[in-house]
Amino acid sequence: MRIFNFRTRSTIKCPRCLGKRFVDWDDIRRLNRQLKWVPAPCAYCDATGRVPKEILSKVAVDCMYLTIDLPESTIEKIKEGDPETVEKGKQREVFVDHLIAFAEHHFLTQNLDAENIANLYLNTEAEKANFAVTKEELIKYIQGVIDLKKSELN
Ligand SMILES: [Zn+2]
């Protein structure tokens, strides 16, 4: 069991939410997490707006995996640097990065729509993926990738 006394620790304004306690689209764009996060209470500072200085050397501000929708015990493990949890987070980011690259590639080179890309992904890549996704989730996600790419191209 750990006993914290925040008053005696030096804290700084949370670099993820800039002290607002909430991660909004501006923060998401600033940290380049557009396809990875949605606006939500800040998990980095636990929606308090401030963090102990030490956290900066333990968890990256833009650590994709650290979001408020995770169970509290997992959030604790990430912040403690638990190797198994950190590895799981890395694998998840690899999975998402691969999916984004796959979707962008097929949109840009073959102009496929989200549903066709989802079908292709499920037929060729799904077995290699460590994370199960439903077709509906996949189509929605890929549509987001395409929309972002279109907005970048315009
Ligand atoms: Zn914060």
Residues 70, 44: contact at Cβ < 8 Å?
no
Digits of tens for pLDDT over the chain (154 positions)?
A: 555 555 556 899 999 999 999 999 999 999 999 999 999 999 999 999 999 999 999 999 999 999 999 999 999 999 999 999 999 999 999 999 999 999 999 999 999 999 999 999 999 887 777 677 889 999 999 999 999 999 988 7
27 Cα: distance to centroid of ligand 1 (angstroms): 10
58 Cα: distance to centroid of ligand 1 (angstroms): 15
> Whole-model pTM above 0.85?
no
